[in-house]
Amino acid sequence: MPSPLVERAMGAVAHLIDRFASSLDFYWDIRMSVLEQWMLESYPEVVENLQSNGMYADFAARLDADREELVNAAATVSAILKYGFDDILEHDLDRHLVLSRLSSRIWSRDVQHLDRATALVSSLLDKHTPSDRIPHYCSLLEAAAKHATIQLRDESWGWCDILEAKTASLDVAHLITREHFPCNAAAYTNEEYALVVRLPEGTDLPSLVAPNFVSSVNIRAGDGPAERSIVFSGLPFRIPMVANEQTLRRFRNFLPVLYLHDEGSLLVEYPWTPVTDFVRCLYPSIDMDMPPELDEESDELQDFQAAHPHTARISEIRPMPLKEGPYISQRQRSRLNWDLAEISF
């Protein structure tokens, strides 16, 4: 009989996969180590119980088996969407159940006996079938930035040393954990981390919340090797990918940025799914229209700089500085203090 503790853990990880799987590519690219890290971040008490009861190995084995089933289901759905049903469905899949889109009935238990492969294919087909004829490229499509009207005052940062962050060099960003998010910022993002970035003087605030396209650029400075960085079309910074791989891979579906400016701080989220986007941006294909390399004195680099006049290179990402004193984490607070202000654009 399956362990209730393992079943609870599988339910938790299924919730994470369902929340953050933004494309079929996600199921092919997700790794066990990533799922285990997500569990440790989002459900630490479940992981602790598994370890203390000697059941973590059983959980890991179940998780790996389920991940393989998701990979197979995603491959079937991808083929169905590309070629149609006629020559795709295997004999062990119930074609009628898949065609009738039974995911809602599956979850409501209207169907009593259902093969797991059929259930997975039906569920993924419902979730990832495009609603129109526009090709689906995950987070690489332009999308309006989220939370464009959320602005935080300096006093809402709790025990974070906001003054130190505001006086840091423009090429330094800070990584803040969800436990340290200011005010009620955690209510506006599902991510466990965010970047704190100081805005250059004169930055056009509306450009930060306009639709942004995530891409990468490869810049060679002097005689050194070329350096590929992720860049968003309207953002005032670029982030070197190799040097900051560990940090960039901490995010799940979005890159939340807390911008520091003279009147306070602004929270904006940008589409960024490193499970699929990191390798795609590090090794871009020609059809993504990303230049392979921009030399220091090339016309292409000058064009890039003209289109991104305030793009600073983030040379270092540091932990968010904290003040000395007692600290009550965001998750332990009995209530959240709301301190929001509408932005004037």
- Give pLDDT, residue 117: 79
Whether residue 253 contacts residue 191, with contact meaning beta carbons closer than 8 Å, is answered with: yes
Residue partners of 13: CB distance under 8 A and separation at least 6: 35, 38, 39, 63
Give the chain's count of helices (H) and strands (E): 13, 11
CA atoms within 13 A of residue 87's CA, in its CB half-sphere: 2
State the chain's mean pLDDT as an integer: 78
34-51: burial string, b at 16+ Cβ within 10 Å, e else: bbbebbebbbeebbeebe
Question: What are the tens digits of pLDDT across the range 198-210?
Answer: 988 777 777 787 7
Does 60 or 136 have the greater pLDDT score? 60
Question: What are the tens digits of pLDDT across the range 270-319?
Answer: 889 999 999 888 887 644 555 556 666 666 666 766 666 567 889 999 99
Does 82 or 66 have the greater pLDDT score? 66
- Give pLDDT, residue 242: 93
Question: What are the tens digits of pLDDT across the range 173-201?
Answer: 999 999 898 877 888 889 999 999 998 87
pLDDT above 60 for 259: yes
Whole-model pTM over 0.75:
yes
Whether residue 215 contacts residue 231, with contact meaning beta carbons closer than 8 Å, is answered with: yes
- Give pLDDT, residue 335: 30
